[in-house]
Structure 1
Amino acid sequence: MAVTTDTSTLDSSTVAVDCSQSNIGRSFIVAFPSNKDKSRERNALGISTSSQHDVNVEVSEFTGDTLTGIVSSNTTLSLPLSEISRCTGSGLQDCSVKISALDGEISVIGYSYLSGSVDNFLAFPVDSLGNDYVIASYTPRPKYFSEFTVTAVASATNVNVEFPELIREDRITKGLTADLNFILNAGQTYQVQSPLDLSASRVVSSAPVSVISGVTCAKVGVKVTTCDYMVEQMPPVNTLGRSFSVSAYHGRPDSGLDIRIIATRDGTRITSDSVSATIHAFEYYDFTSGTHDAFEFETSEPVLVVQYQRSYKSDNQGDPSMSIISPKEQFPVGSITFPVASSFVSSNYIDITVDTMHESGIQVDGVLLDSWTASRVTTALSTIWGKKITEGVHTVSHDDPDIPFSVTTYGYDTITKKAYGTLAGTFLRQSGCRQTTTSAQVTADTTDIFSTTATTELTTFETQTSIVTLDGSSPGASTTADINLYVWMMVLLAIFN
């Protein structure tokens, strides 16, 4: 099956797109969506680096103190956050957290946890953020919420949220506008919550924003009883792809496979030996299998794909989590360094996806994988290795530094019935890139995200929203072009000032 490639090109008169963007960077801003007990969850950061020298890190909560620490290549900097980092309810929030690496590059994973609930997300640096997103979530249990946070980098950021039709009808019955519009100052957050699944909602903004999505508590699977918190940071639409390899989690082979494919455009065709379907903007396709399936699929338009762990009763292990599935177009090359925390679950794993022609070159902490040290499944094109790992900092690499691969890190606990899962690393190259790099070259971001505080009049925007219209056949085509022009103007102004 041929891979469908993005043939769009950049006009020679425009500013060149940075094709080295990834999850590695120097400046981050995140806002944790509410966990299932919004008054008791604890949020934390796990920070790692592949730098050969120590990196000084500052973490600033929106209205709280600044934490500092040092991270080196063989350690994890774990920083617990205060209750200020807890987002609560729908509406404007001051719960964001800024992470700055002062003299090097870092990778950041956010954790939100309770005694019986945990999940994590891979954070994306400020210069990898976008202004167009599609939401991945899940159906919450009664009295819980599907949710996402939107956090601004720049002041006076205008944000429009357009919901799927079922959500729009529900909002109208509650006396709200069908869709949502609000303005954020730098560092300010808006949390959207709904008792219905918010998946396939669209977020479009006038300047780059951070979007983190999930659900306070959801059950995944048939005839299961336990629910868990799920969360992931959403990649911008212009970094999504069309070619994917998926497999059931090696660490839970009896749990089955659950993936969700979310459209960004009308007429999106999904094709493979296992799946054949067409979906449209504001729609998604769920694939569920009770066996340890692995297969390739392609789509005619860029899509967002997530994978879920199932609830405890599906195999008497773990609980739900949600992980982004990286498209092959965004597989990193070189190496991926990531932390595994010791305090959340008892069993930790990685799944590694690589072209079958190059499967023998994968290394974990400098040791080549083979059938004696790891499990292995194959598709028509790819090999997916699975390996149990210990707490601490790990590095996955290939003996050929130009071979792309993807790593998902996940784990679970059978006693407390909780689980987590997220990408260990990913490229975030924009569509139209014509450059291939083997490392992320990220420049320091000097924006003072918290320089402007929230204004009180913004608290009324939930009842003062306006409808956003997107072109369903090519979502945000004219609107996104205008926004991108605005963003590049702001970048040029910042450079020449």
Structure 2
Amino acid sequence: MARLLLSLVILSACICCSPAARDNKGTEFILTFPENEQRDLHNPKVFIACTHSSGATVTITTPSNGVTTTVHVTYGEVKQVEVDRVAVELRGSVKSNKAVHITSDVEIVVYGVFAERASSDAYLALPTDVLGTEYFTPCAAPKPPKPSEIGVAAVQDGTTVTIVPSQAVMFDGQNYAAGQAFSVGLNRFETLQVQAMQDLTGSKITATQPVAVLSGNQFAVCKPLGEQQVGSGDYVVEMIPPVDTWGKEFVTVPLTKHTGGDLFRVVAARDNTLVDITNENTKSLNSGEFWEIDVPSDGYRHVTSSEPVLLVQYSKTGKVDNTVTDPFMMVIPPVAQFETEYTFATVDLISTNQLRTDHYVNLVMRSAEKTGLRLDGQRLPGDTTWHDVPGTDFAAVQLNISAGTHTVRHLSPIVNIGLFSYGFTNLESYGYPGGLRLAQIAALCSTTAPVPADRVDNDCDGRVDEELLNGIDDDGDGLIDEDLAGSNCADNRDQYRTCLQQRCRNLAP
């Protein structure tokens, strides 16, 4: 009995004191905007969505000019806040002070949106509590004289950032050869940008303290390597997850509207990384190397690797298939970082012909679990077309959605879903993951006590929160209740008592 009481006390303490989950929702964000085309000089925006029914009070500050704006964001709303372009846009290959600081009294979802005429993209912002100290960057083949680019923003004073560019670059007037490391000192809210007329994919960024890293191109066409980069282009950008959150299994889904296929790049962080892709030969990559594949518009691929990798999807120029589309770059989260529920927002773009923006979402999940899926609280229509992913038990679907804020969730807290949000209009596009977990599944791991929904790999199996507190081996690994998802046990007092009683019975000798 003493053992049962002790277990009950420990479990109660764990549930009550669960740390903030490692995911894209947060209460503090530090971000910036890599350089875009200087056409109509539109200001960038931050889009803010709130997942709390009580709403959020959010403060947006641009340290370079001292301007502060405070807004209240209600549940289900997308609040758009313009930020002064001169104060936040990185220009040239130099050090600067162009950060945006966002704080909130409750967790929020933030997007950086830079919509310029015929040159737009958006990215999902990552909160400061999940940033890291090691990154490798994805970019695209440049369309000269428009460079590929890397942006960095510091979170803490006294941060030393070391950059190993994959191509020759000039920074602050100094030339550096490909592979030649150079370091830059940054204080909190200071930023830097590195640009090159060659593809900076695979450049390595390390820092003595966590930093935010963004990369992409000022203007890219996104045709396959070896093809001339001509046609309609676009600004492409993403905020990059740190290496310690990368994964080893991915599923790719084609983009709606395109008929000429999509580009994908696999970027490796470690030497001798073996990558296997459906219908492709296995390839070995060393640190900083990447593999680009061109997947047909009816193709679904399963990607696995021996070491953690980053996977990025590129929408091609609309000229490849004469569609009303344009390039964007989108990080594809690994299966292990899929979420069980999402709150995400669409982005309205600037159309040269005053056309509306068409918004889409791609969803991925295990085929047997589709019945519990809910979009904005509703089942999907009965005629929804799902596509099986060859060689796996996953299925994927492409959906047309309305503008605004949406939710996707599963009735079970241990069923994970991949979600990718994007949109097109004439000569414009955007794309980003709808959300993701950012558990440190690629870092050195030590087993820890299970805390519900802590986004920690408690049992070091490369997955997080895959068990219910039910005395059953939900993930089939021979262990019981070793890595707990959130459930009514933690959230509902009536269910909490029942769950604890069941837990005590499971602990009985």
State the TM-score, normalized to the length of structure 1: 0.80
CA distance in 2, matches of 1:286, 1:320: 16
1:63 aligns with 2:64: yes
Tell me by how many angstroms 1:77 deviates: 1.0
Matched residue, 1:451: none
Deviation of 1:19 (Å): 8.5
AA partner of residue 231 (structure 1): V
The corresponding residue for 1:248 is: 254
Name the amino acid aligned to 1:331. F
Residue 401 of structure 1: CA displacement?
A: 2.2
Distance 2:174 2:80 in 1: 42
- Alpha-carbon shift at residue 294 of structure 1 (Å): 0.2
Q: Given the superposition, is the C-alpha separation of residues 406 and 52 from structure 1 closer, same or farther in structure 2, using an over 3 Å criterion?
A: same
> Cα offset for 1:175?
3.8
Do structure 1's residue 201 and structure 2's residue 203 form an aligned pair?
yes
Equivalent residue number for residue 296 of structure 2: 290
Change (3 A) 1:91 1:256: same
Name the CA shift for 1:153/1:277 in 2 (closer, same or farther; >3 Å).
Answer: same
Correspondences of 1:447-486 after superposition (within 5 Å): none
Q: 2:159 aligned with 1:157, yes or no?
A: yes
Q: What residue number does 1:125 align with?
A: 127
User: Where does the alignment leave 5 or more consecutive residues of structure 2 unmatched?
Assistant: 1-17, 351-355, 457-509
- Which residue in the other structure is 1:456 paired with? none
**Alpha carbons 2:439, 2:455 under 8 Å: kept:** no
Distance in 2 separating the partners of 1:175 and 1:228: 28
Report if the CA contact (8 A) 2:35-2:89 is conserved: yes
Partner of 1:394: 406
Identity %: 27
Whether 1:426 and 2:431 are equivalent positions in the alignment is: no
Per the alignment, do residues 18 and 257 of structure 1 end up closer, same or farther by CA in structure 2, a change over 3 Å counting?
farther
**Other structure's SS at 2:23 match:** coil
Alignment of 1:17-28 (within 5 A): 20-28=21-29
Code of the residue aligned with 2:408 in structure 1: it is V
- The residue type paired with residue 338 of structure 2 is F
SS of 2:106's partner is: coil
In the superposition, relative to structure 1, how do residues 426 and 45 fare at CA in structure 2: closer, same or farther (>3 Å)?
same
- Consecutive unaligned residues of structure 1, counting only runs of 5 or more, are 1-16, 442-497
How much is the aligned-residue C-alpha RMSD, in angstroms? 2.4
1:50 paired residue number: 51
- 1:271: how far off? 1.5
Do the aligned residues in 2 keep the contact of 1:27 with 1:100 (CA within 8 Å)? Answer: yes
Name the CA shift for 1:134/1:18 in 2 (closer, same or farther; >3 Å).
farther
Q: CA deviation at 1:87?
A: 1.2
* More displaced stretch, 43-52 vs 176-185: 176-185
Counterpart in the other structure of 1:309: 315
Deviations 1:320-356 (A, max 9, x none): 00000000111112x1001113344511000011112
What is the 5 A alignment of 1:141-156?
Answer: 141-156=143-158
Q: CA deviation at 1:420?
A: 0.6
Please, which moves more after superposition, 132-141 or 213-222? 213-222
Measure how far apart 1:291 and its partner are: 3.6
Instruction: Find 1:214's aligned residue among 206, 216, 220.
Output: 216
1:406 and 2:418 matched: yes
Decide which of 79, 85, 88 is 1:85's aligned counterpart. Answer: 88
The answer (yes or no) to whether the contact 2:39–2:117 under 8 Å persists in 1 is no
Residue 114 of structure 1 deviates from its aligned partner by 0.9
CA distance 1:146–1:412, shift in 2 (3 Å): same
* Residue 261 of structure 1, aligned match among 261, 266, 272: 266
- Hey, what does 2:491 align to over in structure 1? none
**Counterpart amino acid of residue 279 in structure 2:** S
Match of 2:41 in 1: 40
1:170–1:280 CA distance, 2 compared to 1 (3 A): farther
CA distance in 2, matches of 1:430, 1:63: 32
**Letter of the structure 2 residue corresponding to residue 96 of structure 1:** A
8 Å Cα contact 1:19/1:436 also seen in 2: no
Measure the CA separation in 2 of the matches of 1:34 and 1:348: 25
2: CA distance, partners of 1:348 / 1:174: 43
2:369 and 2:434 map into 1 onto residues whose CA distance is 20
- Specify which of 314, 318, 327 is matched with residue 320 of structure 1: 327
Q: Residues 306 and 324 of structure 1 are in contact (CA less than 8 Å); yes or no, is this contact kept in structure 2? A: yes
Matched, 1:176 2:176: yes
Q: Deviations over 1:420-477 (max 9, x none)?
A: 1001110000133755854779xxxxxxxxxxxxxxxxxxxxxxxxxxxxxxxxxxxx
Matches within 5 A, 1:102-113: 103-113=105-115
State whether residues 214 and 239 of structure 2, in contact with CA within 8 Å, keep that contact through their aligned partners in structure 1: yes
1:45 aligns to what SS in structure 2?
Answer: strand
Q: Which protein shows a greater Rg?
A: 2
More relative contact order, 1 or 2 (CA 8 Å, 6+ apart): 1
Post-superposition offset of 1:134: 0.6
- Provide TM-score, normalisation by structure 2: 0.78
Query: What corresponds to 1:97 in structure 2?
Result: 100
CA contact (8 A) 1:257 1:292 kept: no
For residues 254 and 283 of structure 2, the distance between their equivalents in structure 1, rounded to whole angstroms, comes to 21
Contact 2:48-2:110 at 8 Å conserved across structures: yes
Contact kept in structure 2, 1:356 and 1:378, CA below 8 Å: no
In structure 2, the CA distance between the partners of 1:67 and 1:359, relative to structure 1 (3 Å rule), is same
